[in-house]
Amino acid sequence: MNSNRSEYLKNNHPVEGAEGIRKYTVINQDDADKLNIPVDPNLLKFYDQGVNGSYIKHLCLDKSEKCLSEEMYGKLLIFHLNLSLVCICYIIFSVIAYSDNNLSQSHFIFHLSCNIGMLLLSFCLLPLIKNPEIFVKYHKRFYAGLSVIVYFYYVIGNKHVLNSIINTDISEYNLPMNLGIIAYSITLRYVIYHNFLSILIVSLIMLSAYISATLASPKAYNLNNFNEFFIVLIFIVLQIIDTQHTELNQKKSFWAQFQYERSYKTSITNRDEDIVDGFHTETELLIQACDKIKKTLKQVCSVIIFKDIKEKLKLAQVELDHVKHQIGKGGYLKEVKIEPRVDMDPEDQEFISQNYLEVSYATPPERSAITEVTLFEFKDREQTFIFSHYGIDKLESVLSQLGKNWSFDIWFVHDTTGHSVSILGKYLFEKWQLNNFLNAESLCTDEFFERLEAGYGKNPYHNACHAADVLHTQLFFISQSSLSKSLTQIDIIACIISALGHDIGHPALTNRFLVNNRDKIAVRYNDSSVLENMHSAKTFKLLATEGINIFKNLTIDDWVKMRKTIIEMILETDMSRHFEILGKFRTRVQTLSNMDISIFEDKCQILGMALKCADIGHSAKDIDLHEKWSMLVCEEFFRQGDIEKERGQAVSMYCDRVTTDIPKSQAGFIKNICLPLYEIWCFYLKSETVEKFALEQLKKNLEFWSHKKKRRATVKEDLRSKADALKRIQTSK
């Protein structure tokens, strides 16, 4: 069976199958061993010095690269133990020979001092073990230098050579120097990890010294010495050859591992290549890793011909799909990995780090049991609803554009009536007869919306008009897409209340400012989604007030669902969680494609994203409206910057009214925050209307600010050039 399988695979060359699945041939093991290693064939050094450094660390250090490996410690122990034993033996032999008058005093002193000196010298490098980086850098040079000294001693220590040098014939005893050469050479290879170049250089120096000492000394010029020399020569040559072979194999093994690790790191770095921007959660990366594993399993399955193994591989793919969906629908990881695009401005990056990165929030899954009519099935009230006391016969005709005209101007309503939140709330409740669903009196709902509007301060940006504009934008997303066919009366009420109350009581300061200044709001909400928790709490505090509690007649189940939906929607507007929320939604919509609006948890996530997109909806409005809102938000930022200056604090990015480049800040905001969000939102809605009016206008606004940014930079450069020219003229005078 195995032979048939091998024949089958050998006869099938790698081709692309009908389904694009690659078929593989059996690779000869000898061919697999022939790695293309980028090393000098003579010196066995990697051409890349960085790879050489990695190779040395691989040999000497442990995985943490903070201390020597156990293998290195073992080899150091063997080397120093061997050298110490040889030196001690030579000292003992010298003492015995000197005691028996077979060794002259001068020879005895020479051997004694050399062996003690070599012992002391060999341990000089060991204290550097505490600093592995320095040890690894110098240990090869140290042991090569030590080897030259040791070999010179072994050559000169021969009695004939030593007698010639000190011109005496007294010593008859000859220490076994060649034995020392052999023993030392063996352990030297291990302590310098079979480094071919070092062994070659040291061996050539030793052999040259051996030949020179033998030829230069007539007393050493005899047959016995030549026999010993040739024994040493043959041993050293074999050592050099074996060292070259061993180091080459070591580098093959290292290079294979190095390439694998590098390709793995590259794949990890590029595993999010399908994500258009540079911000993504670990959840997305895990799901993409599952997809790649599944693809690999499919390729392996195409090669395997054993039915039982193939079935197990298919089962593994099914299990992997289950794991992938569990990752996508389960608790989302909070960590956001930032890999900014190359063209991202450093100040934009700092601004994002300060304002759009924080902790996450998740809710348990739950299915909805609500069966009311959907917005698509709503019937508008036939009786005309007139705001005659505002001096306009039919303000309703203006309000009828809510959710239909993308660039609906809430400022017109405010300038005409002096109100915004209360007007829109009353109008929508009357239009869709939502009071009947809640079983609430009109006076009760009217009073609630008036009190809700009164809760907003006179801020430049985070005011009642902003809340009303957000409601209109959210209704546009719903009414101009298939969402209108899925949202019930209770969902629409939650959308209206969450939009109109999502910024109530806003102090015109950021969460970061409140936390850093230990504000009582931050203390109350434990530094977590500070403002959003406050807005939710204030909204429900109003709803709990006697006389304006429009939810008092809801069933317990409906009240719990309503409260849960509103809170989650408001919490989704926390911009410090922007990338976590974006990554979570993108995972479900684009990667898993399993968002189901009939599931309560998924519906909350979708409505939360709708409110989040509406919250920054001004960035996609017609240029006049967008520029007006942009100036207002900048003014609010600048006021915070003024407070920070007064308190002697570092001014937050883009909050300094003197140094902030408004076109640059707005272009960065749209490019890095708004555009990725609207792209995935439009991808989910699949509404040509939303894409045409919102996404396309957003891109036009980005071009508008980018053009202003370039023009401003040109003007600055011209002014700088004129100033430099004027300075040169004044200097020349």
pLDDT above 60 for 156: yes
Assign 10 a pLDDT band (cuts: 50, 70, 90): very low
- Contact present, 678 and 695 (Cβ < 8 Å): yes
The reported pLDDT for the residue numbered 12 is: 40
Q: For the range 512-515, what are the long-range contacts, defined as Cβ-Cβ under 8 Å and sequence gap of 24 or more?
A: 512/354, 512/355, 512/576, 512/652, 513/640, 513/643, 513/644, 513/652
pLDDT at 518 over 90: yes
State pLDDT tens for residues 462-473.
999 999 999 999
End-to-end CA distance of the chain: 99
Mean pLDDT confidence for 693-719: 81
Confidence of residue 302 (pLDDT cuts 50, 70, 90): confident
**Is 505 a residue whose pLDDT tops 60?**
yes
Rounded-to-integer distance, Cα 583 and Cα 161, Å: 80
> Does residue 368 have a pLDDT over 50?
no
Q: What are phi and psi of 471, to 5 degrees?
A: -60, -45
Tell me the pLDDT tens digit for each residue of 713-732. 555 555 565 556 556 655 65
pLDDT at 170: 57
CA angle 215, 219, 224 (to 5 degrees): 80
Mean pLDDT of the chain: 82
What three-state secondary structure class fits 728? helix
Between CA 448 and CA 578 the distance in angstroms is 31
What mean pLDDT is predicted for residues 177-199?
A: 88
CB 284 within 8 A of CB 583: yes
pLDDT of residue 61: 87
Mean pLDDT of the 343-363 span:
65
Question: What pTM value is reported for the model?
Answer: 0.59
**Between 594 and 498, residue with greater pLDDT:** 498
**Higher-confidence residue: 58 or 600?**
600
**Pairing status of strand 279-281 against strand 336-338:** antiparallel
* pLDDT: which is higher, 636 or 169: 636
Residue 413 has pLDDT above 50, yes or no: yes
Q: Which residues are known catalytic residues?
A: 462
Residue 269 in this model has a pLDDT that exceeds 70 = no
For the segment 95-123, the average pLDDT, to the nearest whole number, is: 88
- Residues belonging to the binding site for Zn(2+) are 466, 502-503, 615
Residue 473 has a pLDDT of: 97
Between 371 and 708, name the one with better pLDDT: 708
User: Is-contact 484 452, C-beta < 8 A?
Assistant: no
By C-alpha distance, which of 474, 480, 447 is closest to 569?
A: 474
- Binding positions are 462-466, 502-503, 615, 666
Confidence of residue 710 (pLDDT cuts 50, 70, 90): confident
Does the pLDDT at position 200 exceed 70?
Answer: yes
Of residues 162 and 273, more confidently modeled: 162
Cα 80 off chain centre by:
45
pLDDT class for 317, splitting at 50, 70, 90?
confident
List, for residues 597-643, the tens digit of each pLDDT value: 999 999 999 999 999 999 999 999 999 999 999 999 999 999 999 99
Please give the full DSSP string across 576-607, using - where no structure is assigned. GGHHHHHHHHHIIIIIS----TTBHHHHHHHH
What's residue 482's pLDDT? Answer: 93
pLDDT at 164 over 80: no
Which of 198-207, 208-217, 394-403 has maximum average pLDDT?
Answer: 198-207
Query: Where do the domains of the chain lie?
Result: 2-34, 49-264
More confident residue, 570 or 72: 570
Closest CA to 508 of 622, 642, 657, 604: 642
pLDDT band for 391, please (50, 70, 90 cuts): very low
pLDDT at 331 > cutoff 80: no
d(CA 126, CA 122): 8
Q: Of 37-46, 204-213, 321-330, 414-423, give the range with the top mean pLDDT.
A: 414-423
For the residues 515-520, what does the mean pLDDT come to?
Answer: 95
pLDDT attached to residue 362 = 37
Q: How confident is the model at residue 105 (pLDDT cuts 50, 70, 90)?
A: confident
415-444 tens-digit pLDDT? 989 999 999 999 999 999 999 999 999 999
- The pLDDT-based confidence of 168 (bands split at 50, 70, 90) is low
- Whether the CB-CB separation of 478 and 487 falls below 8 Å is answered with yes
- The pLDDT score that the predictor gives to residue 366 is 43
Query: For residues 164 and 209, which has the higher predicted lDDT (pLDDT)?
Result: 209
Q: In this prediction, what percent of the chain has a pLDDT beyond 90?
A: 45
Q: Mean pLDDT throughout 532-546?
A: 96
Over range 294-308, report the average pLDDT.
79
171 pLDDT above the threshold of 50: yes
pLDDT confidence of residue 334: 45
- Give me the pLDDT at residue 626, please: 96
Q: Virtual CA dihedral for 346, 347, 349, 355, nearest 10 degrees?
A: 170
pLDDT band, very low/low/confident/very high, at 17 (cuts 50, 70, 90): very low
* Residue 336 binned pLDDT confidence (cut-offs 50, 70, 90): low
- Indicate the annotated binding residues for AMP: 462-466, 503, 615, 666
